[in-house]
Amino acid sequence: MDAIVNGVKLHYEVHGRGSSVLFIHGFPLSGELWQACIEPMKNDYRLIIPDLRGHGQSEASEQASMGRYADDLRALLDEVGERNPVVVVGHSMGGYVAFEFFRRYPELVQGLVLTNTRGVADTEEGRQGRYDTAERVRREGSQVVAESMSKKLFASNAPGELVSHWREVMAATPPEGVAAALHAMAERPDSTETLEDFSRPLLILAGEEDTITPPADAEAMSEAAVGSELLVISGAGHMLPIEQPQQFVAQLEQFLDSMSDPDVHGSWTRWG
């Protein structure tokens, strides 16, 4: 389905019924990242799965920021008639968007699942690297990022077809969307304080072989967020939801189930 939000056409899918879960994919990927969640979860939950602006089948804009992505998602929740707080699941850049979504719309966030992401901002060198890459992408196309990232996304034993499929997904992302996302990531704030203040249910997942956001990043987030739950999954790199789909879904469902258990999550029992 498509909706016009904040001046761009946003593509999204909604599956199932029940308490809502909003899934935010990473860079430069698409909602397809969450495909393994749909069948096993749709009988119990309402899954809201957008393509961020400039990604997948959503329209690109010249500029993007974590705030703009977050505002798009806020508008999308209105569009799909969502009136209750949701659990937000963010992968990598989707985690950066989730932090901003929580800072802007805390009343809409019931809990958070962060997979393959980090809380800290870029270093000065990292930021400059993103600006340089954005320039190259504008000149030479998204292939630049597709080639370099496809070598780093997966654990060493990932099937070749998986790697080539996702290389194609990244290469098909509009250069304008890729460049805008690189700027948005470079300019994102540090979210350590957000984690320190986040007193709601929080699950942090990491891939043992993730070299983009290594388990140490997940550990740092978990140390900042008292009461969070941290799991490092073996046989997975940066694409944990794709590489270990059964484990990912099992952990997610267990976390969602526990949210309606007052013994586990104290006062956060309105959901479910």
Question: Which residues are near ligand MLT by CB under 6 A?
Answer: 26-27, 92-93, 185, 212
Give min distance, CB of 27 to ligand MLT, in A. 3
Instruction: Enumerate the β-bridge partners of residue 203.
Output: 113, 229
C-alpha 271/C-alpha 259 separation (Å) is 7
Is the Cβ of residue 240 or residue 259 nearer to ligand MLT in the bound state? 240
Q: How far is the CB of 226 from ligand MLT (least distance, A)?
A: 25
Between 188 and 265, name the residue whose CB sits nearer to ligand MLT: 188
Query: 């495909």: which residue's tokens?
Result: 35
Residue type, 169: V
- Residue 19 or 92 with smaller CB distance to ligand MLT: 92
| 110/173 with CB nearer ligand MLT | 173
User: Rounded to the nearest 10 degrees, what angle do helices 160-171 and 143-150 cross at?
Assistant: 150
- To the nearest 5 percent, what fractions of the chain are helix, strand and coil? 45, 20, 35
Q: How far is the CB of 16 from ligand MLT (least distance, A)?
A: 25
Closer Cβ to ligand MLT, 26 or 85, answer by number = 26
Q: What are phi and psi of 3, to 5 degrees?
A: -140, 145
Query: Which pair of tokens denotes residue 204?
Result: 């942090």
Cα 160-165-170 angle, rounded to 5 deg: 125
CB of 199 to ligand MLT, least distance (A): 26
Minimum separation from the CB atom of position 77 to ligand MLT (A): 22
d(CA 268, CA 264): 9
